[in-house]
Chains A and B, each alone.
Chain A
Amino acid sequence: MSEAREKLGTMLYLNGVSVSFDGFRALNNLSIIVHPAEMLAIIGPNGAGKTTMMDIITGKTRPDDGDVYFDGRTDLTKLDEAKIANLGIGRKFQKPTVFESQTVWDNLVLALKKPRGVFASLSYHASGADTARIEEILATVRMTARKHDLAADLSHGQKQWLEIGMLLAQDPKLLLVDEPVAGMTDSETVETAKLLKEIAKTRSIVVVEHDMSFVRDLGSRVTCLAEGSVLAEGTLEQVSANPMVIERYLGR
């Protein structure tokens, strides 16, 4: 099958991506494909290249080699962060990154999918639909009661939820979610899995996570990375039964 045909119909297409930092090969011939409305969970030991992969997809880091395509046709290696975000790729960071000195509401206003230009922002006035959408997101991430609080005053888990809410507000086609349940209680973790599964009905999601019970809850395809390339792929059962994965990540 030719490469072009292979890319066609994928939401995210990474082929042979490599990148080195000061001689350290963070990604080594990494190839990953995510289809529309599909969830992919990525597991792997620290330093496997999970975050670097997200940096490359979102334009923060340029790969030394390899192809990165979005929606089967857009070459992401040529674009910067803002352009990539506006194509419809949303990212939630490992360390929850919200705008601390602004309210929960304003964080969502900033994220809401609207023209991003300077003058468009200057003259922006929230329409009824915008307000309703933000209320809806607040209800989804259960933060309605805290909408007027500063983001800095939220607990770690709540910041995670706010950031997921911001992702929803961006209305992306592809969500990159880095360790969404770190710092969450068990019940919050279960809720997050439910929410992500709901989102994955219409969008593509890549979730990086260490919490195995959470990954099990997601019930998605799993890829295990190690040393910058794919170690194993398949269902969680298949991957966690793989002797190499046990050796290098899960432990005996």
Chain B
Amino acid sequence: MITQMLFRALDRKTAWVALLILIAAAAVPLANLYLPASNPLHVPDYAVPLFGKYLTYAMLALALDLVWGYCGILSLGHGAFFALGGYAMGMYLMREIGPRGVYANPILPDFMVFLNYKALPWYWNGFDNFWFAALMVVLVPAALAFAFGWFAFRSRVTGVYLSIITQALTYALLLAFFRNDMGFGGNNGLTDFKDILGANIQAGTTRAALFAASGIALALALLVCSMIVNSKLGKVMVAVRDAESRTRFLGYRVENVKLFAFVVSAVIAGIAGALYVPQVGIINPSEFEPANSIEIVIWTAVGGRGTLIGPIIGGILVNFGKSIFTGWLPDYWLFALGGLFVFVTLFLPKGIVGTVTGLWVSTRRRPVVAAAEVLQPEPEAAE
């Protein structure tokens, strides 16, 4: 059955993109480590974690697209799951520092010593083990998504109201994580990481490995999403998106369908966050900012929601653009981002991938359709 599902998931386009990501996951680190700097294909050191960060953003956009593009749940708080995954990884990295911190306390991270903690808070236990942290990277976002979704979807909160609540969720977490006595480093968050799984986190080989891991994780996430959207459940999700109450009258429990998509999406976002933190070297409460979550929506919209490839392209392109733009006119990035969103909404409502696919299909199909019957208008994009 699993092989059957895998086979179905691998439609040609998805397989190509997954393969491309895997090739990049191997080629970029190799080009960084083994090609001399004089070689035109050499990838400079600074670029590896930067591109690695883009891959985690692409994964985050993919996660959002699973709920927004396919199930019609516009989450404006998906950054929260990303940040929670990031914090779980950050806690592990903090405990890896051990006695090498400024205060040289073998158990307590620096910020706890500074804030006069006498002992490790109970919820920091276990994070000295990588496997435990990895488990939490998955479980914490999943548990939050489950609890939130359970109540929201059962109460049939939909549309703008749901979006506002997700926004409130991430804002509440932002405020909570800002507090010093939450025990997560407050305003400064978690940083000054030394190593991961015993390897120096600054070393070229570690960065290369993290890049490769991000690429592999993205490819796997793509496969999982593809498996879901190509199954009958994927059709049910689209049905929920387009005509929720009709789906209910067919006998489907809409709240369970949404809950499943939401939890899977939160897990993917959490893993993306966990890969992001060691590559940027810090996690702080600003990751919970509502503006971050809105940016994810823009990446997805630009790339093309309701396609699996679109958010990956959008996540990488927009952030690449951001890096260039903020280097050039740092004060105007938000204007550019806003302008981009307006432009895409007005002129490319299906995003880059949706538009390109639409053109491709219509040029191939039109002659046949025209010969067979009256030309039918393109279906409206679903709200």
Q: Which residues of A contact B (CB under 8 A)?
A: 58, 60, 80-82, 85-86, 91, 93, 97, 99-102, 106, 109-111, 116-118, 121-125, 149-150, 152-153, 166, 170
Provided the pairs A82-B251, A117-B256 are in contact, do residues A100 and B379 lie with their beta carbons within 8 angstroms? yes
Contact between B238 and A58, CB atoms less than 8 A apart: no
Q: Which residues of B lie under 8 Å from residue A85 when comparing CB positions?
A: 248-251
Contact between A99 and B246, CB atoms less than 8 A apart: yes
Q: A121–B233 Cα gap in the complex (Å)?
A: 5
* Nearest 4 interchain pairs by C-beta: A85-B251, A152-B379, A121-B233, A124-B232
A and B contact pairs by CB, cutoff 8 A, 6 listed: A91-B249, A100-B379, A101-B238, A109-B232, A118-B257, A125-B4
Chain B interface extent, by class = 20 to 34
Contact between B235 and A122, CB atoms less than 8 A apart: no
Q: A150–B378 Cα gap in the complex (Å)?
A: 9
Closest to B376 in A: A153
Closest to B375 in A: A153
Q: A109–B248 Cα gap in the complex (Å)?
A: 15
Q: Which residues of A lie under 8 Å from residue B252 when comparing CB positions?
A: 82, 116, 121
Is B150 located at the chain interface by the 8 A CB criterion? no
Q: Which residues of B lie under 8 Å from residue A117 when comparing CB positions?
A: 253, 256
B353 CB, min distance to chain A CBs, angstroms: 16
Contact between A81 and B245, CB atoms less than 8 A apart: yes
Q: Which residues of B lie under 8 Å from residue A80 when comparing CB positions?
A: 248
Q: Which residues of B lie under 8 Å from residue A118 when comparing CB positions?
A: 233, 253, 256-257, 260
Q: Which residues of B lie under 8 Å from residue A91 when comparing CB positions?
A: 249
Q: Which residues of B lie under 8 Å from residue A170 when comparing CB positions?
A: 250-251
Is B104 located at the chain interface by the 8 A CB criterion? no
A168 CB, min distance to chain B CBs, angstroms: 13
Contact between A122 and B243, CB atoms less than 8 A apart: no
Q: Which residues of B lie under 8 Å from residue A124 when comparing CB positions?
A: 231-233
Q: Contacting B249 at CB < 8 Å: which of A58, A100, A123?
A: A58
Contact between B236 and A110, CB atoms less than 8 A apart: yes
A109 CB, min distance to chain B CBs, angstroms: 6
Q: A23–B283 Cα gap in the complex (Å)?
A: 56
Residue in A80, A85, A122, A123 whose Cβ sees the most chain B Cβ within 10 Å: A122
Q: Which residues of A lie under 8 Å from residue B247 when comparing CB positions?
A: 110
Contact between B231 and A123, CB atoms less than 8 A apart: yes
Q: Contacting A116 at CB < 8 Å: which of B1, B238, B251, B382?
A: B251
Contact between A101 and B382, CB atoms less than 8 A apart: yes
Q: A60–B246 Cα gap in the complex (Å)?
A: 11
B57 CB, min distance to chain A CBs, angstroms: 27
Contact between B257 and A97, CB atoms less than 8 A apart: no
Is B239 located at the chain interface by the 8 A CB criterion? yes
Contact between B245 and A102, CB atoms less than 8 A apart: no
B365 CB, min distance to chain A CBs, angstroms: 11
A103 CB, min distance to chain B CBs, angstroms: 10
Q: Which residues of B lie under 8 Å from residue A109 when comparing CB positions?
A: 232, 235
Residue in B233, B239, B251 whose Cβ sees the most chain A Cβ within 10 Å: B251
B125 CB, min distance to chain A CBs, angstroms: 34
Closest to B251 in A: A85
Q: Contacting B235 at CB < 8 Å: which of A82, A106, A153?
A: A106
Q: A50–B382 Cα gap in the complex (Å)?
A: 30
Q: Contacting B250 at CB < 8 Å: which of A106, A111, A123, A153?
A: A111
Q: Which residues of A lie under 8 Å from residue B376 when comparing CB positions?
A: 149, 153
Q: A224–B1 Cα gap in the complex (Å)?
A: 53
Closest to B254 in A: A82
Closest to B256 in A: A118
Contact between A81 and B379, CB atoms less than 8 A apart: no
Q: Which residues of A lie under 8 Å from residue B242 when comparing CB positions?
A: 99-102
Provided the pairs A85-B249, A85-B250, A123-B1 are in contact, do residues A100 and B257 lie with their beta carbons within 8 angstroms? no
Q: Contacting B231 at CB < 8 Å: which of A99, A101, A121?
A: A121
Q: A122–B232 Cα gap in the complex (Å)?
A: 6
